[in-house]
Amino acid sequence: MTAISSYIERSPKLAGLLFLAVILTACLTTLSTVTDTVEQYRAREASLDMLSRLELASQRGANKARPPGSPFFKGQTSTLASAALLQRITSIISKAGGTLVSTEVIQGPQSKEGYLTAIANCELEQDALQRVLYDIEASVPFLFVDQLIIQIPTGQNENGPLRITLAVAAQWAGGE
């Protein structure tokens, strides 16, 4: 230690440079800490702003009335309710401009307990598929897409309609 202090005493320029380096290092460390603190503050403010917008949106959504009607498919028997489900799927596909190729109702051990399941094979344009999926899942009684298989046309008819296999499920209210 005495060797360093004696060397610094003999070379005042080196002592000045060393002092300047220590001061510069302290200033850079302080600047880095302040920058990090400001960035954390901005991120916190952005998160709080996003949270307040989400809370406001959820409050607006909570004030909206639920769509009228029962969320369950109704029918005296599962056959009648399945027919109503097929009719609903058919009308949704037709409204979107699609062509229904075939339909099938799944009953028994293949279907979940308390649910009706129908499979529709159809041809749809690509932009109509989004409308069909929205109409299926956005209205009452509630329908759920269980399976969606899309076959893209190949060969000379590459711009043709998509071949869609769509399995839709609805909860049945029983014989109500």
Q: Which CATH number goes with the domain that contains 92?
A: 3.30.70.60
How many residues belong to the chain? 176
pLDDT in tens, 42-80: 999 999 998 888 888 777 765 555 566 677 777 788 888
- Give me the mean pLDDT over the 10-38 stretch: 91
* Same-domain status, 95 and 30: no
Of 170, 169, 161, 172, the C-alpha closest to 100 is 161
The reply to whether 176 falls in a domain is no
* Same-domain status, 96 and 57: no
* Same-domain status, 87 and 52: no
Say what the pLDDT of residue 102 is: 93
The reply to whether 52 falls in a domain is yes
Report CA dihedral (4, 9, 10, 16) to the nearest 10 degrees.
90
Of 104, 98, 86, 87, the C-alpha closest to 162 is 98
SS3 of residue 67 by DSSP? coil
Confidence of residue 87 (pLDDT cuts 50, 70, 90): very high
Pairing mode, strands 115-124 and 99-106:
antiparallel
- In single-letter form, the type of residue at position 89 comes to I
The reply to whether 134 falls in a domain is yes
* Same-domain status, 55 and 82: no
pTM > 0.85: no
* Same-domain status, 96 and 133: yes
Say what the pLDDT of residue 92 is: 93
Of 175, 110, 94, the C-alpha closest to 146 is 110
* Same-domain status, 92 and 134: yes
The reply to whether 73 falls in a domain is no
* Same-domain status, 154 and 90: yes
Say if residue 85's pLDDT is above 70. Answer: yes
The number of folded domains in the chain is 2
Q: In which domain, by residue range, is 144 found?
A: 78-171
